[in-house]
């Protein structure tokens, strides 16, 4: 007796994504195998069974999921290809046999399915690229960094980048650096990132999460000298995380440990 059609959202979504990918297959066999492995590692979803409304809903979600997955994989492949062109020594045949790289692609693809935010998607792609270099994090640290990107909101990432180099944050926003004699990081954040102005409970929560994870030092409260406010509030681990989620062609200063 043959098995019936897979009516779970997982089956519909994975099938949709696979079909979309195969309509525009990569030119190299190894890269095609790489994408197939990613599809096979798709995130589990709630099974759907029932009448026409449930099935229609499942297929609609499946199509949307497939489009999102296709766009993610196409952008990731473009970034890998560009890095290959710039640095050489990378090819899809080698990458398809690299379990560490496959782990990175599968982990980030699962996370990418759950967000439309371009900042998070860019961070995930950059993380994959940074698994390829000689200075890649250890397997454990790499896995943890991907989990941070998945768990943190885009606002978390913006806040971390700001506190890594507050002066650069002011400059990038076109805001004149205040001449503080003394003050707190909460004031610095509000002056440099107006989106956090008059939202101190929210900013304290956002700062507290990476602090608990060991990515930042100190707190938003408390008085500091004006000069010390411009110093990085990220920890050595936080610096490595930011380097990991940044474009490898644009070096990020890290703290030696």
Question: What digits encode the pLDDT tens for the residues 29-48?
Answer: 444 455 444 444 443 344 55
What would the DSSP string read from start to end of 124-141?
Answer: HHHHHHTTSSTTPPPHHH
Lookup: tokens for 225: 């000298």
Identify the structural domains of the chain with CATH numbers, from first to last.
9-151 (no CATH), 154-235 (1.10.10)
Instruction: Report how far residue 208's alpha carbon sits from residue 200's, in angstroms, rounded to the nearest whole number.
Output: 12
31 close to 77: Cβ distance less than 8 angstroms: yes
Instruction: Report how far residue 249's alpha carbon sits from residue 83's, in angstroms, rounded to the nearest whole number.
Output: 8
Question: What digits encode the pLDDT tens for the residues 50-107?
Answer: 566 776 777 777 788 888 888 998 899 888 888 877 776 667 777 878 888 889 999 9
Tell me, yes or no, if the pTM score tops 0.85.
Answer: no
């Amino acid at each position: 007796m043959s098995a019936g059609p897979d009516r779970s959202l997982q089956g519909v979504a994975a099938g949709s994504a696979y079909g979309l990918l195969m309509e525009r297959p990569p030119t190299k066999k190894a890269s095609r195998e790489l994408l197939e492995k990613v599809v096979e590692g798709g995130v589990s979803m709630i099974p759907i069974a029932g009448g026409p409304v449930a099935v229609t809903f499942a297929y609609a979600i499946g199509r949307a999921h497939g489009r999102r997955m296709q766009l993610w994989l196409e952008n990731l492949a473009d970034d890998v290809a560009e890095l290959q062109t710039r640095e050489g020594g990378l090819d899809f045949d080698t990458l398809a046999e690299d379990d560490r790289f496959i782990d990175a692609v599968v982990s980030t693809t699962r996370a990418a399915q759950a967000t439309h935010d371009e900042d998070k998607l860019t961070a995930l792609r950059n993380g994959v690229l940074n698994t390829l270099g000689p200075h890649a994090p250890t397997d454990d640290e790499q896995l943890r960094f991907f989990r941070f990107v998945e768990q943190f909101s885009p606002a978390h990432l913006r806040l971390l980048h700001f506190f890594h180099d507050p002066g650069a944050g002011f400059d990038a926003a076109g805001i004149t650096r205040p001449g503080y004699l003394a003050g707190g990081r909460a004031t610095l954040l509000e002056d440099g990132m107006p989106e956090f102005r008059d939202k101190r409970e929210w900013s304290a929560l956002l700062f507290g999460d990476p602090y608990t994870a060991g990515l930042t030092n100190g707190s938003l409260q408390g008085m500091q000298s004006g000069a010390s406010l411009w110093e990085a509030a990220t920890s050595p681990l936080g610096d490595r995380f930011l380097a990991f989620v940044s474009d490898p062609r644009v070096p990020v200063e890290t703290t030696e440990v």
